[in-house]
Homo-oligomer: A and B are copies of this chain.
Amino acid sequence: MRLLASTAACVLFSTVPLLADPLPSWNDSDSKSAIIEFVDSVTEEGGESFVPEDDRIAVFDNDGTLWSEQPLYFQGIYALERLAERAKEDPSILTSDARKAAAAGDMEGVMAGGMDGLIDILNVTHSNITVEDFKADSYEWLTTAQHPTSGLTYAQMTYAPMVELLEYLREEGFTTYIVSGGGIDFIRTISQEAYGIPPAQVVGTEGTTRYEVKDGVPSVIKDGGVSFVDDKEGKPVGIERFIGQRPIFAAGNSDGDFQMLEWVTAGDGPRFGMIVHHTDGEREFAYDRDSSIGKLVKGLDEAAERGWVLVDMANDWSTVWTGQQ
């Protein structure tokens, strides 16, 4: 199938040489050809694979698929930094080893006890604040704080090839959604600016919120605690709940995206599944089977037989981060 796709793309390029390349940050590769061949096939009116615009729904994981996720999910780093700031004012909040590690900027120490320590830190830094204030604070951090190894802001660490892919799909009549295990409010602060995706097209893990009227002013307040986890089996559930129809295109990078890819590509008609494989230790980070963040085992083992395209970052992308362009 990949060879066919590649051939079709070559024919396209040679017969229509004046068409601008929709994916300039992608090297010529099987992945790129497969994407373009799929998009051409579902948008060709009268073609046997034609899909009406209403059904051209594409879903993208965020951490590790649209922006980086190492050495820790960006939202985790945000929570650690905010906890450290609070602890300076009130050290009595450092009631656990994980919290103490966070205050010391020790990410490995936070993760030493598993995800529980991180979740506790997320809860304490994401509660008793209106959703609007939380989003304003997240936005400020994402656009000004500096990533520990790249030196870029977090907002600059979106993947240029993926931002191009989102734009290309929208130009071809797709509606693009983020479907992330990350927090929905955290991503929404930046989704329009970073990806051209409006807040309502972000599906994610949800914190509990409550409606409250205080001194005559109504607001929606983050309570701490999680009401929905948009990961693994949660992704198809979240998509059905938020979007209400099965997408035809899904992209992810870890086994947290497996069920989403499985469900999307099992539907009738043309389907596209894609896994971003982090092979580029030089320009980004190289990790898969043994990583605690973005672990990819099942996806690697089954991509070929399921017809999912495995994107080789080192080989397939000419640029990595938008902030480097």
Is B241's CB under 8 angstroms from A184's CB? yes
List A155-182 residues whose CB lies under 8 Å from chain B: 175
Q: Residue on B with the closest CB to A198?
A: B54
A200 at the interface (CB under 8 A from B): yes
A303 at the interface (CB under 8 A from B): no
Q: Provide the bound-state CA to CA distance between A125 and B176, in Å.
A: 34
List A197-246 residues whose CB lies under 8 Å from chain B: 198-202, 206, 209-211, 213, 217-220, 233-234, 236-237, 240-246
Picked from B188, B211, B266, the residue with its CB within 8 Å of the CB of A244 is B188
Quote the shortest CB–CB distance from A284 to chain B (angstroms).
Answer: 29
Picked from B175, B218, B241, the residue with its CB within 8 Å of the CB of A209 is B241
A38 at the interface (CB under 8 A from B): no
List A239-263 residues whose CB lies under 8 Å from chain B: 240-246, 259, 262-263
> Per-position contact with B for A259-289: 1 when CB-CB < 8 Å, else 0?
1001100100000000000000000000000
A185 at the interface (CB under 8 A from B): yes
Which residues of chain B are within 8 angstroms of A54 by Cβ–Cβ distance?
A: 192, 198
Is A243's CB under 8 angstroms from B200's CB? yes
Q: Residue on B with the closest CB to A212?
A: B233
Which residues of chain B are within 8 angstroms of A243 by Cβ–Cβ distance?
A: 199-200
A131 at the interface (CB under 8 A from B): yes
Which of A54, A175, A206, A233 has the largest number of chain B CB atoms within 10 A? Answer: A233
Quote the shortest CB–CB distance from A296 to chain B (angstroms).
Answer: 20
Is B241's CB under 8 angstroms from A211's CB? no
Quote the shortest CB–CB distance from A19 to chain B (angstroms).
Answer: 30
Is A199's CB under 8 angstroms from B237's CB? no
Question: How many copies of the polypeptide does the oligomer hold?
Answer: 2
Quote the shortest CB–CB distance from A218 to chain B (angstroms).
Answer: 5
How many A residues touch B, CB cutoff 8 Å?
37
Is B218's CB under 8 angstroms from A236's CB? yes
Q: Residue on B with the closest CB to A263?
A: B218
Quote the shortest CB–CB distance from A316 to chain B (angstroms).
Answer: 28
Picked from B198, B200, B218, B259, the residue with its CB within 8 Å of the CB of A259 is B218
Is B213's CB under 8 angstroms from A236's CB? no
Is A244's CB under 8 angstroms from B199's CB? yes
Which residues of chain B are within 8 angstroms of A240 by Cβ–Cβ distance?
A: 131, 209, 220
Is B211's CB under 8 angstroms from A236's CB? yes
Is B209's CB under 8 angstroms from A244's CB? no
Which residues of chain B are within 8 angstroms of A188 by Cβ–Cβ distance?
A: 244
Is B217's CB under 8 angstroms from A233's CB? no
Is B206's CB under 8 angstroms from A233's CB? no
Is A262's CB under 8 angstroms from B213's CB? yes
Is B242's CB under 8 angstroms from A211's CB? no
Which residues of chain B are within 8 angstroms of A199 by Cβ–Cβ distance?
A: 243-245
Which residues of chain B are within 8 angstroms of A192 by Cβ–Cβ distance?
A: 54
4 closest Cβ pairs, A-B complex: A199-B244, A211-B233, A220-B240, A211-B236
